């Protein structure tokens, strides 16, 4: 009877798939592979394949509760560490920021029935600006544990400074838990959206492989976060204030001679050096973001 009673008292969240979100955290060796596969335009010139191997990345859980996990990614290159993208996982999250095009996002409130049993993945830029969001259940398919969603996103950084023939990356993101870590499989469509219609430019296959490394390989990443988390927490707080108060936002990454990413990284250095403190960091960040967001 004791065993039965114990089984019946297992918390409901244990069955939601959170254990799979937790498996996305850790120290990884990452590889990136992308190849364009198809275009409806017979004269389209396919872009070269891209492959990057041997990247060390720390996926650090900076918030970890039953229904919300915030994972900060940090690139670790020996003693050098660079803040990378962030992903927030939220269980049954009704708030979705949908990408429209040209650095414009719109807030959408979903019905509770639309998010029941689902985890939303919210991906944020290096600057903690929005990137893309999508919701789905974790599922077992043919013996594999997967999460899959299709959503619109801006151009990836590997292309946004080089291409102007499309302005939407329709991403089908498939996360597959493996014995070594996980795979991020992508089936992407590069779309030009203009005057209310979409034109497919090309399709693309992507595979980002994450293989676990010893935690000691990412020690410098953890040290960086301890030194800088006060600043980046303030950045996240000010972004939250903006997003909570608006139904749409438009981001301009460069205003006059100020680039948002460069400015924030300079302020992060100021924080570590003690030139920026808890007394003025939020006000300083808010003033910077205000110049780049409508």
Q: Are 229 and 62 in contact (CB under 8 A)?
A: yes
Kindly state whether residue 122 falls inside one of the protein's structural domains: yes
Q: Are 198 and 191 in contact (CB under 8 A)?
A: yes
Rounded to the nearest 5°, which phi and psi values hold at 104? -120, 130
Say whether pLDDT at 11 is over 60: no
Kindly state whether residue 209 falls inside one of the protein's structural domains: yes
Kindly state whether residue 95 falls inside one of the protein's structural domains: yes
Distance CA 248, CA 6 (A): 47
Say whether pLDDT at 269 is over 60: yes
Could you tell me the pLDDT band of residue 266, with boundaries at 50, 70 and 90?
A: very high
- How confident is the model at residue 60, as a pLDDT? 98
Non-local (6+) Cβ contacts of 56 within 8 A are 27, 28, 29, 30, 75, 76, 77, 213, 217, 218
132-141 mean pLDDT: 97
Q: Are 139 and 191 in contact (CB under 8 A)?
A: no
Whose CA is closest to 121, among 142, 157, 97, 143? 97
Q: Helix or strand or coil: residue 253?
A: coil
> How does pLDDT run across 56-78, given as a tens digit for each residue?
999 999 999 999 999 999 999 99
Strands 68-77, 80-91: pairing is: antiparallel
Please state, as a whole number, how many other Cβ atoms lie within 10 Å of the Cβ of residue 292.
20
- How confident is the model at residue 3, as a pLDDT? 41
Kindly state whether residue 35 falls inside one of the protein's structural domains: yes
Non-local (6+) Cβ contacts of 15 within 8 A are none
267-293 mean pLDDT: 98
Structural domain containing residue 126: 23-215
Token pair belonging to 205: 């296959």
Say whether pLDDT at 142 is over 50: yes
Q: Give the chain's domain count.
A: 1
160-171 mean pLDDT: 95
Residue 146, beta-bridge partner list: 139, 176
- How confident is the model at residue 160, as a pLDDT? 87
Distance CA 65, CA 124 (A): 19
Could you tell me the pLDDT band of residue 243, with boundaries at 50, 70 and 90?
A: very high
Rounded to the nearest 5°, which phi and psi values hold at 232? -70, -25
Token pair belonging to 223: 């040290």
> How does pLDDT run across 174-189, given as a tens digit for each residue?
999 999 999 999 999 9
Kindly state whether residue 133 falls inside one of the protein's structural domains: yes
> How does pLDDT run across 87-128, given as a tens digit for each residue?
999 999 999 999 999 999 999 999 999 999 999 999 999 999
Q: Helix or strand or coil: residue 94?
A: coil
Q: What is the mean pLDDT of the chain?
A: 94
Phi/psi zone of residue 157: left (φ > 0), alpha (ψ -120 to 50 degrees), beta? alpha
CATH at residue 200: 2.40.128
Kindly state whether residue 274 falls inside one of the protein's structural domains: no
What whole-number percentage of the chain has pLDDT above 90? 93
Kindly state whether residue 188 falls inside one of the protein's structural domains: yes
- How confident is the model at residue 293, as a pLDDT? 97
Could you tell me the pLDDT band of residue 9, with boundaries at 50, 70 and 90?
A: very low
238-248 mean pLDDT: 98
Kindly state whether residue 271 falls inside one of the protein's structural domains: no
């Amino acid at each position: 009877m004791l065993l039965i009673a114990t089984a019946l008292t297992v918390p409901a969240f244990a069955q939601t798939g959170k254990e799979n979100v937790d498996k996305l955290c850790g120290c990884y060796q990452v590889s990136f592979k992308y190849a364009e596969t198809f275009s409806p335009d017979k004269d389209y010139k396919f872009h070269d394949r891209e492959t990057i191997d041997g990247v060390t990345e720390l996926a650090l859980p900076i918030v970890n509760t039953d229904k919300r996990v915030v994972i900060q990614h940090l690139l670790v290159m020996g003693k050098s560490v660079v803040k990378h993208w962030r992903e927030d996982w939220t269980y049954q999250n009704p708030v979705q920021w949908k990408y429209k095009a040209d650095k414009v996002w719109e807030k959408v409130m979903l019905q509770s029935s639309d998010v029941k049993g689902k985890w939303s993945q919210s991906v944020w830029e290096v600057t903690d600006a929005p990137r893309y969001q999508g919701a789905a259940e974790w599922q077992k398919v043919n013996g594999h544990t997967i999460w899959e969603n299709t959503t619109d996103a801006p151009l990836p950084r590997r292309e946004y400074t080089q291409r102007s023939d499309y302005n939407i990356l329709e991403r089908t993101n498939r996360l597959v838990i493996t014995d070594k870590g996980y795979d991020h499989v992508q089936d992407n469509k590069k779309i030009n959206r203009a005057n209310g219609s979409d034109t497919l430019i090309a399709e693309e296959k992507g595979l980002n492989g994450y293989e676990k490394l010893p935690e000691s390989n990412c020690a410098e990443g953890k040290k960086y976060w301890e030194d800088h988390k006060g600043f980046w927490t303030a950045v996240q707080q000010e972004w939250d204030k903006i997003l909570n108060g608006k139904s749409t936002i438009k981001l301009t990454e460069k205003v006059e001679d100020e680039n948002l990413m460069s400015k924030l990284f300079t302020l992060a250095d100021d924080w570590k050096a003690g030139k920026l403190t808890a007394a003025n960091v939020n006000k300083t960040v808010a003033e910077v973001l205000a110049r780049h967001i409508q």
